[in-house]
Structure 1
């Protein structure tokens, strides 16, 4: 068998490829991504309580103006992070949602019903606890959605630290629950935390959404047209009063999940191209003079580029950018808690803090575990093979690990800075508490190599975004957009 890298002349090229592979292993780790975001949040806490705080606030308040003519967006640096860069994060969330509904756990409603309904319980109970606390203590009920969200990156990062104590089936259950949780959080933001809608901009947003759908129906497989329309859609939604980050979700669902190449014939086509390249190659001439050979190689490269569906291509483009720039920057901008001069007694006594903390730490596990137990008890569903009740409890406890969506909702829910600070403190403390409780419980109650831990079920198919569309009378790659 030919070893990887054997076709390269230069050993330096092989070493560079190996380094890139190692870098991809690091950047593809949810644990590393979560650690980077935690580090950014901790840095923000430190900076916010040093003399650098005023300088950072000045930079975050600087104005930015982007656009042409009437399609102009005026925003601050902080809004650019929270509204534009987070739209890229929502694009990645939307890609994951579309993947799951196409070939993942959400493609089979019956199979996905248990974790999805558990997510509904994990959203409803925290909201009710928050409302009960704040209505009883005269707090701010508008923040009811702050404790409803589970942070996928943080929560799955904590789960990965537990190794084989958490079975593959439980990890799939938790991931499906977290994805359903994201869907509910997106709906909540759209319905309850937008501004007064501007009809003209809303109509423009609908028209652009229709344009994205038309591109998909026209089988346009180049990513660039979708991105161009998506940027204009974001600007329209920003001006419309609907939260602009939702443009990322709309763009994700418009991206084609099929390939424009007849995959069933790709192998034979590559064999023919390989023979053509071998015939065209002349060992006696410099590569710059072998136009037939380099032109054939370029055409093959273009076809291979379009084997990957646009949805998956976009995921590869933005994943590292989101995990290692957008989310850490968001954490740094929004986790700034200027506690110098603050009344800690008032923070600890705040109904907002009590509601957010209890909603996440107590409400999340109660909602998730109770709904799961009821559905199983009533015979509506069964626990996945390899998952037992101690693992359900661990999932419920770690469901309280929330950051990204909770911080985002905090910024939308509160006009009083004191309430926002109290909510952010509660979110950070609740996430640490939930992570600690879930980890300790799993280590005490679940034995290593628990039920099904060594039986790895199929992941709903390989990481593919749908089958190729019906064959056409052309070679692979012909007519690629």
Structure 2
């Protein structure tokens, strides 16, 4: 009886109830249960998006300091040091910097893919009509920055057009959280949906425009591995380990294929099961049976190490409850903290190595690449988001969500210019000249900082002024004539 899985009814099964529990009526939780349920200081910190964004900013600032100090050359040699990944004949040679940008960022893209699949399953993207407005606003927020960049670089480094198109969701939402109640929760959902759609577009752009010349054999091997992932999902394999192992093989094949290897994380995420292999409707009655079994097997007079039947039953319950959570969520919980507090700060430190020593600042400010990236993010991004949203609402295609006002749409547009992570990643792929990469990174850092500060300044100063102006106009309209 204790080995029965929930949802599988056996003949003669009954649901005994503990009479002592019934008599007490209220179950007092043991101290250890209360301790496990309470969040530790570390859990509180790691669940705070603002702290995660701050760590990424600190890592970027530290990178700029190191890049302009005597430590730059030794660090540069370390980042270019070769690493060998793989076993036996299946090995790949990669630099430390490449490991960060190609492998660790694949783990970041796995988290992005999980968030996308979650939103498409139970979140905002599940209702296309509801998500249409922020998703189309995201498209406008991609096209206009690209056009602004091309306006400055139509006869030069036009291949960098995608650098200013991205929005860093973690960075932007972290800054937005600093505003507290000034930003409605519905606005944060609108912005999150917009940023997720922005990620989808950036992933497509990365795959189509910034890969290398495809290696046919490795592309075929990648497709075979994808078929294997599909077979695991089709066979209803609910353990996460097989998917992760096959995902490693997919990364290896894609790394050698010329397709950007980070996209392996997104592909893997979409094959992770989003369902539980435990029938949740029958879980409660099954747990009731198991509780009775545990009580029958517990012996007050024996040390817990000697109560083998009791601990075996408890372990069985633990394994079943572990499978209540879908693999998609289990993987997310496993990697989220590492991504936000380790991988992204490392990526920021490695890629924000902006060398200012000997750089002509006046020339930098007039460089077409710098102007295209900076103005594309700071001016093009808000214009694209705000004008697309206004046009869709004006023609009657959609309405603003409840409690999302136009002044908050403006704030969303301004903060959309914070494209830190994805923009830095694309800049390293878009430009072959190290000088152009350095110029682009300078502009990205400046644009992200300017967008964040302008957004916060607008919400603290501009938003109250807009509210007062609207109230004044309404009071003037409502006043009797002659007053």
TM-score normalised to structure 1 length: 0.89
Question: Aligned partners of 2:55, 2:132: CA distance in 1, in Å?
Answer: 33
Structure 2 residue matching 1:446: 3-state secondary structure: helix
Question: What is the 5 A alignment of 1:220-231?
Answer: 220-231=237-248
2:83 to 49, 55, 64: 64
Task: Please say if 1:179 is aligned against 2:196.
Answer: yes
| TM-superposed deviation, 1:447 | 4.8
Question: Aligned partners of 2:201, 2:331: CA distance in 1, in Å?
Answer: 24
| TM-superposed deviation, 1:242 | 0.2
Task: Please say if 1:374 is aligned against 2:399.
Answer: no
| TM-superposed deviation, 1:418 | 1.1
Q: Which residue of 2 aligns with 1:6?
A: 31
2:262 to 245, 261, 268: 245
Distance 1:3 1:150, change over 3 A: farther
| TM-superposed deviation, 1:102 | 0.1
Structure 1 residue matching 2:31: 3-state secondary structure: coil
| TM-superposed deviation, 1:344 | 2.1
1:88 to 100, 104, 107: 107
Over residues 129-176 of structure 1, what are the superposed CA-to-partner deviations in whole Å (9 max), with x where a residue is unaligned? 0011112xx431110000000000110011111111111111100000
1:165 to 182, 185, 194: 182
Question: Aligned partners of 2:28, 2:132: CA distance in 1, in Å?
Answer: 45
Q: Which residue of 2 aligns with 1:194?
A: 211
Question: Aligned partners of 2:297, 2:266: CA distance in 1, in Å?
Answer: 46
8 Å contact from structure 1 (residues 165, 447) kept in 2: no
Task: Please say if 1:109 is aligned against 2:109.
Answer: no
TM-score normalised to structure 2 length: 0.89
| TM-superposed deviation, 1:5 | 4.8
Count of matched residue pairs: 441
Q: Which residue of 1 aligns with 2:288?
A: 271
Question: Aligned partners of 2:276, 2:401: CA distance in 1, in Å?
Answer: 32
Q: Which residue of 1 aligns with 2:57?
A: 38
Distance 1:3 1:185, change over 3 A: farther
Q: Which residue of 2 aligns with 1:349?
A: 366
Question: Aligned partners of 2:261, 2:279: CA distance in 1, in Å?
Answer: 37
Question: Aligned partners of 1:293, 1:391: CA distance in 2, in Å?
Answer: 57
Question: What is the 5 A alignment of 1:61-460?
Answer: 61-135=80-154, 138-447=155-464
Structure 1 runs of 4+ aligned residues shifted over 4 Å read 1-5
Structure 2 residue matching 1:66: 3-state secondary structure: strand
Question: Aligned partners of 2:37, 2:133: CA distance in 1, in Å?
Answer: 43
Structure 1 residue matching 2:422: 3-state secondary structure: helix
Question: Aligned partners of 1:447, 1:264: CA distance in 2, in Å?
Answer: 50
Distance 1:344 1:228, change over 3 A: same
Task: Please say if 1:24 is aligned against 2:49.
Answer: no
Q: Larger deviation: 424-433 or 113-122?
A: 424-433
Over residues 321-343 of structure 1, what are the superposed CA-to-partner deviations in whole Å (9 max), with x where a residue is unaligned? 10011000000000011221222
| TM-superposed deviation, 1:26 | 1.1
Over residues 439-465 of structure 1, what are the superposed CA-to-partner deviations in whole Å (9 max), with x where a residue is unaligned? 1111124359x9xxxxxxxxxxxxxxx
